[in-house]
């Protein structure tokens, strides 16, 4: 009997691993191809060719870049905290991948349909801040440490705005479950009545994930990666593509689609649910690359002022307004 239970447990673990790989492997491929798509779109905006040598139409360029970084010599600064020096980029990579565990690609198409899926996603997003802070601190360099503090302050500030926008959706639906939020939008997508909320949600994602015009992590005055060699920087390259391009362009784009303009399609089109979600996510990603190609970088003080003096009062106003309207018209789900 114990042997049978052990075998059944192994089979269950194997099935779960297959489910995880079916999500992670396509996502990793999407990361690679999203980088080349972004570079091609930026080249089109700037009237240049872009990568077109490695593979047909430059399609293998991301794999060539990753291979080049992996083959570089590993150099560890003698005064650095060696454990945290490597733990920082690895932790951000892990947190970025864990966010896909609760994403419903269609009805019943999720690794884990948690009842508190939004809270899980926000928790992982907040933990990503520690990787940035540890990266600057572990190098034992004042220059890198000050840069990481500034980047961390910006990420924490806009995490508040991002959480406020999602809190409004929670107040509107009365649930923390992604599937319930999608089912609530069968009559009308939330982006229509909550367009101002979507706008500051969009801005918060730009800042919280350090994308243009809020990409201070890449500005020379705020750079905290000065002590990372190419092999260590590979993890930060993956962090940028996974958290800022993949988690931001893909995971954040999918979250936008789920929270603001997604509903389950008819039963006859159930196999196309993931396709519809992907198309809407691609449109969202296009907008983020468009912002990168057109807007200049803000100064650090402008970044903080925009959050605390402009976006936060609007977010607090909507947090009060939305439940007040629901209660006044007796349509609150709670």
Per-residue pLDDT of the chain (334 residues; tens, 9 = 90+): 456 665 666 666 566 677 667 767 777 777 778 888 888 999 998 889 888 888 888 888 888 877 876 776 666 767 777 788 777 777 777 777 788 888 887 777 777 788 888 888 888 888 878 877 887 787 777 777 777 777 788 888 888 898 899 999 998 888 888 888 888 888 888 888 899 998 988 888 888 777 778 877 666 555 555 545 444 444 555 555 444 456 666 777 788 888 888 766 655 555 677 778 888 888 888 888 888 888 888 888 888 899 899 999 999 999 999 989 988 888 877 6
The alpha carbon of residue 180 and the mean position of all alpha carbons in its chain are separated, in whole angstroms, by: 21
Nearest to 236 by CA among 95, 142, 131, 143: 131
The encoded tokens of residue 171 equal 């107040």
Q: Which segments within the chain are labelled E, that is strand?
A: none
Which distant-in-sequence residues (6+ apart) come within 8 Å of 161 by Cβ? 200, 201, 203, 204, 207, 208, 307, 311, 312, 315
Q: Are 109 and 277 in contact (CB under 8 A)?
A: no
The encoded tokens of residue 178 equal 């992604």
Q: How far apart are the first and last CA of the chain?
A: 47
What is the DSSP code string of 227-249?
A: T--HHHHHHHHHHIIIIIIIIII
- Report the length, in residues, of the chain: 334
27 vs 20, 21, 24, 247, 334, CA distance in Å? 11, 9, 5, 10, 36
Q: Are 227 and 141 in contact (CB under 8 A)?
A: yes
The alpha carbon of residue 62 and the mean position of all alpha carbons in its chain are separated, in whole angstroms, by: 19
- CA dihedral for 236, 134, 125, 316, sign (positive or negative): negative
């Amino acid at each position: 009997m114990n042997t049978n239970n052990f075998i059944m447990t192994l089979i269950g673990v194997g099935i779960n691993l297959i489910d995880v790989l079916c999500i992670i492997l396509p996502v990793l491929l999407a990361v690679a191809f999203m980088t080349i798509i972004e570079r091609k779109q930026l080249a089109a905006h700037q009237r240049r060719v872009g990568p077109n040598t490695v593979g047909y139409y430059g399609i293998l360029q991301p794999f060539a870049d990753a291979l080049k970084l992996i083959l570089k010599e590993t150099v560890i600064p003698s005064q650095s905290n060696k454990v945290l020096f490597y733990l920082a980029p690895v932790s951000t990579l892990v947190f970025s991948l864990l966010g896909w565990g609760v994403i419903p690609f269609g009805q019943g198409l999720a690794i884990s349909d948690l009842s508190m899926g939004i809270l899980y996603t926000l928790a992982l997003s907040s933990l990503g801040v520690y990787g940035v802070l540890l990266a600057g601190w572990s190098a034992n360099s004042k220059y890198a440490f000050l840069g990481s503090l500034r980047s961390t302050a910006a990420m924490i500030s806009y995490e508040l705005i991002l959480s406020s926008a999602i809190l409004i959706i929670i107040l509107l639906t009365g649930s923390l479950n992604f599937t319930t939020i999608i089912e609530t939008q069968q009559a009308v997508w939330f982006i229509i009545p909550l367009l101002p909320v979507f706008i500051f949600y969009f801005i918060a994602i730009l800042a919280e994930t350090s994308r243009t015009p809020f990409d201070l992590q890449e500005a020379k005055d705020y750079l905290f990666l000065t002590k990372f060699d190419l092999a260590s920087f590979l993890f930060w390259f993956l962090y940028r593509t996974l958290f800022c391009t993949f988690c931001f362009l893909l995971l954040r784009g999918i979250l936008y689609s789920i929270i603001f303009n997604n509903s389950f399609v008819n039963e006859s089109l159930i196999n196309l649910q993931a396709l519809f979600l992907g198309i809407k996510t691609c449109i969202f990603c296009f907008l983020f690359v468009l912002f990168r190609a057109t807007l200049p970088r803000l100064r650090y003080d402008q970044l903080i002022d925009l959050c605390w003096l402009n976006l936060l009062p609007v977010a607090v106003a909507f947090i009060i307004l939305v439940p007040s309207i629901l209660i006044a018209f007796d349509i609150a789900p709670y």
